[in-house]
Structure 1
Amino acid sequence: MDTSSTIAMFLHFGLVGVGCLAVAEKFIPLLPSYVLLMLLGLTVPDGTMLATTILATSAGSVVGALGWYGLGRALGSRRIEGLVTHYGKFVLLRPSLYRQLTDAYRGNHFWVTLIGQTLPTVRIYLALPAGVLRLEPRAFVMATAIGTVIWNMPFLTLGYALRGSGHDPVSLGFWVVVVLIAIELALLLGFRFYKRSLTPRRFAEPLALPSRLPVEEGA
C-alpha cells in the first residue's frame, strides 16, 4: 500500500481518521509533517472543517507525543540510551541528537517543549527524553499542545488556501518551514540580547574606608 492510499484510508474515517493519522505520523513518518498537513488542508471543504481539522491533528500529535513520553518514563535512562545507540539511526534519532535533546531540558522545561514542537525531527523525539527525565506531565501536555497548534495551523491553512491553485505543496511547505525557523531564531536571539541588556553592568567596587580613622599620637 503506497502513501496516498494509506492517507486516503485514514481520511475515510473523517476527523477520527485525521487524528489517528496525526498519531501515526509521530511514530511512522509517512511524509514530512508539513507535506502531510498541507495535503490534509487541500481536502478541507470549508473554514469550519479547517478549524476542526486543526484541533483533530493537534490532539493526535499530543497523543503521539504522550506515547513517546510514556515510553521514556517506563523504560528509563539506561534502556532508552541503549535502544537509541543500537537502533536510533534507523529512525533518524542519532545518539548525538538524543543527547542534545536531553541537554536542552536543563533550561526552562515549558519553553523547551513548546519551541521543540515547531522544529522538524525534534518535534517527534523531544518527548522521549522528557519522559526519561520525568517532567511534570500537565505542563508537558500544555506546552506540547500549544507548540503543536503553532506548527499545524499554518500548514493546514496554507493547504486549504491552495485548493485548486495548482501550486506544489511540497516546495511551498519547505519554504514555510524555512521562514518559521528563521522567525524562531530571530525571536530567540532577540530575547537573549534583551535579557543581556537587562543585566546590570558590574562596576569596580570602590575601596572600603575604615570605619574609624586612626588617631595620630599627640593629636
Structure 2
Amino acid sequence: MLSIQALQETVDSAYVEPAVFELRPDYRALLIAVDGLIPGASEAASNALLEQAEMVARTALSERKAEHLPHIAAWREAYQAFGAKPNRTRNSLEALIRRAEAGLPRVNKLTDIYNAISVLHQIPLGGEDLARYSGAPRLIRATGQEPFDTVASGEPIVEYPDAGEVLWCDDDGVTCRRWNWRQGRRTQLRDETTSALFILDALAPMSNESLLAAGADLTSHLSTLGSEVISVQRLIGFPPAPGRDMTKG
C-alpha cells in the first residue's frame, strides 16, 4: 500500500504547461490520488448513485440542450481553441450527460462512482490507474510525437496527437487526449485497481468552491471502498493555487 507521502509526491509533481494557461487562463485542475481501494463489481450503492446522476441529467436536459449547459459550453469553446471539433470529439462530461438519458454504463464500483460524480457536478472527471503511471502527470500542448495507446476496430493501436492538441501525459506517453476526451488503454482503471489518480477539470463559470465540492463528494464516496482508503489532493490554477489536502477515510 502506498503512503500518504508517496501519494502527495504524485500530485505535487503534476505540471500544467504555461501554454495551456495561455489558451485558457480560467483553467483549474483538482488532482486527487487515492490508495487502499478494494475492487468490486457494481452494487446497490453505486447503482443508486448512478440513478441519482441519471435523474439530474434528465432534468438538466429537459431545460436546455446538452451543448448549452454552462460548463459543457465552456469546454466546447476550449476544444475549438486548439482545433478540435466538439461535435465530433465531445468532452467526457458531455459524452456522459448525453448517455445518461438512456442510462449510464454500470462498469464496477470505482468507475460507477466517478462517472456519477462527473454528471452530478457537471464536471469532466478522469480516473487513471496510479500503479500504471510512469513519472509525473503533465498537461501540455502536444508536439505530435507523443504515443497514445488505444484501440481501433477492436485491435490495440498506437496513435499520435495533432500538434498543439491539449493532452495529459506521463513519461511513457499520452494518458488522455484532447484534454478530457479519450483516456489511453495503458493507464485506464481496471477491475483490480487499488490505487487511482482522479483529475477534475474546471473552466469558468465553475467556481473553485464548486470544484472543491465535487472533489469532496468524490473522496467521500471513495472512502466507502475500503477501511484503509487514503487520499491527497492538489488544486492547480493560474496563478498557482496552494490547495494541498490529506485525508484518511
Query: Over alpha carbons, which structure has the higher Rg?
Result: 1
TM-score in terms of structure 2 length: 0.27
Bigger proportion of residues as helix: 1
What's the TM-score once normalised by structure 1's chain length?
A: 0.30
